[in-house]
Structure 1
Amino acid sequence: MEPTISIPQGWQYPRFSFGQRTEQGVIIGIKYYSDDTFLANEYGEGWRYVLLRDKNTEDEEHHLESELKLLTPQELRAEIEAEIQKRLRQIELLTSELKAIPPSIVNS
């Protein structure tokens, strides 16, 4: 069963989704300021996105929907390919560590 998110009636649908990569970072959270709330009166109605620029830190950034820009297909491809190469190097290192473990002798 796939998880679902219900958007209350009267709210606009968000332009972006969880996990999406943008120029500002990866979207890890979304919140909505409804027009009848204090926050909407202060900052404007609409979606706000929580992003991580670097997944190895706890530093979150908050952006308005209008501030986000998606990566171009070329940028997205380059980012994903770099991540794949990094993981392949990690696998190679772990495999060589595994091979370096001496065989154990089992006494019966």
Structure 2
Amino acid sequence: MKDFALAEWSTKIEVGLPQIDQQHRQLFELAATFRGNGDQIRILKSLVMLTEYVKVHFREEEELMAACRYPGIEAHRRLHGEFRRMLFDLLEKAKQMTLDEIA
């Protein structure tokens, strides 16, 4: 499997809401499980875990945004939708892909 760079968590990207910052850190940790050599089962499990976590995080983040009347909520929801579709599509395609293709 090819080595690739992943974005790493930084306090510079914190939003100042402990619950959301912790969830964002968790997303980075889940993404980091794709590093290193592994088998297709591990990669698929990582994708499933990330997909499930994204569902929960996006729902909670959007609820918080709505409660605060965040002015950019609709644009942010669209970004969430695009990311969810990309991740779900990748999960479906990953079942027939090699490890290099998944990465």
Query: Could you tell me the TM-score, scaled by structure 2's length?
Result: 0.31
Of structures 1 and 2, the one with the larger relative CO (CA 8 A, separation 6+) is 2
Greater helix content: 2
Greater strand content: 1
Query: Could you tell me the TM-score, scaled by structure 1's length?
Result: 0.30
Q: Which structure is larger by alpha-carbon Rg, 1 or 2?
A: 1
